[in-house]
Each structure stands twice: as C-alpha cells, then as structure tokens.
C-alpha cells in the first residue's frame, strides 16, 4: 500500500479526521471529499479535504473542485500537484477510487462558477480577494 501524508495544515488535517470519523459527512449540508495527489517535487502522496459540486452537464460524472486557497495570491499545493500529474485518488463518503483531473476550460468555468458559489458562497469572497484567476478543476472517475 502506498503511504499517504495528510495536509500539514492543522485545520485541514482536523477536517480529514472528521471526514473519516463521520463516513464522509464532516459538515452537514456541504459535499466534501478527500483528494490524494502525487507531490510534483517530492513524489510523495498527499491528501487534502475539499468541498465539491457535481457538474450537471456531464450527468454528474465530474466532481468540480475550486483551487481557491481561501483567496490567497498563489495556487494551493494540491492544484500544482495535479497540474503536474493528473492521476489522482478521490474518497467520496466511504468509497475510494482512481480519477483524472483537469482544469476547466474558460467556457466550463463560466458555466460552473455560479453553481460553485451557490453551494459555497465564500468562494465569491475568495475570488474578490485575489487578482489570481481561481481555477476550477473537473475530476472524473477512471476505475
């Protein structure tokens, strides 16, 4: 089995523990998942917890992730990792499966931002807080 390291961010690590303790429901009313990427520099597998929405245009097949980094002026490490290696692992609820990630096209992002903000209104404030274009990522199951 591949060793996976959880996020060094204390809040995210606590969120991962709550995710595991609650069978994938750490925040009632919010869809959360665990994303594992391979470190672009270290090669280590890293896990983080993220909110997601489903892309209705793909029949709900894609999980939409927001690389907001809480409005910081730089991309989160998980986004940089999957940009370097799009093969990822998702855990949704109690199910874990391989997936492939890609950045949403500009047209997809235009269509999906209102859906993302409706699910997590804080993303609107994160967009306003930075000059950086916050990427949306589509992740689809491969296995």
Cβ pair 136, 66 in contact under 8 A: yes
Residues counted in the chain: 143
Q: Do residues 89 and 36 make contact, with C-beta atoms less than 8 angstroms apart?
A: yes
Query: 23 pLDDT exceeds 90?
Result: no
Q: Where are the beta strands (DSSP E) in the chain?
A: 4-6, 32-38, 45-51, 53-54, 62-66, 87-92, 95-103, 136-141
Convert the pLDDT of each residue in 110-119 to its tens digit: 999 999 999 9
- pTM assigned to the model: 0.92
């Amino acid at each position: 089995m591949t060793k996976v390291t959880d996020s060094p961010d204390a809040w995210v690590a606590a969120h991962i523990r709550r995710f595991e303790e609650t069978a994938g429901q750490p925040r009632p009313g919010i869809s959360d998942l665990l994303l594992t990427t391979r470190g672009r520099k270290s090669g280590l597998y890293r896990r983080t917890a993220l909110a997601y929405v489903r892309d209705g245009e793909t029949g709900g097949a894609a999980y939409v992730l927001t690389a907001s980094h809480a409005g910081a002026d730089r991309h989160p490490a998980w986004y940089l990792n999957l940009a370097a290696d799009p093969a990822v692992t998702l855990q949704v609820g109690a199910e874990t499966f391989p997936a492939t990630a890609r950045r949403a096209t500009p047209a997809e992002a235009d269509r999906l931002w209102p859906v993302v903000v409706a699910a997590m209104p804080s993303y609107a404030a994160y967009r306003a807080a930075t000059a950086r274009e916050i990427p949306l990522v589509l992740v689809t199951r491969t296995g």
